[in-house]
Amino acid sequence: MKNSVAFTIDELHGEKILPVNKPPDWTSFDVVNKLRYASRVKKVGHAGTLDPFATGLLLVCFARATKRVPELMNLEKEYMATVKLGVEMDTDDVSGKPVATQEVPEISEEELREVLQKYTGEIEQIPPMYSAIKKQGQRLYKLARRGEIVEREPRRVHIYELELMRFDHDEIDIRVVCSRGTYIRALARDIGHDLGCGGHLKSLVRTRIGEYRLEDAWELPALVQEIKSKRLQR
93 is catalytic: no
> Rg for the chain (alpha carbons), in Å?
19
Candidate list 10, 25, 30, 51, residue with the active-site label: 51
**Inter-CA distances, 155 with 75, 97, 176, Å:** 18, 25, 18
Active site members: 51
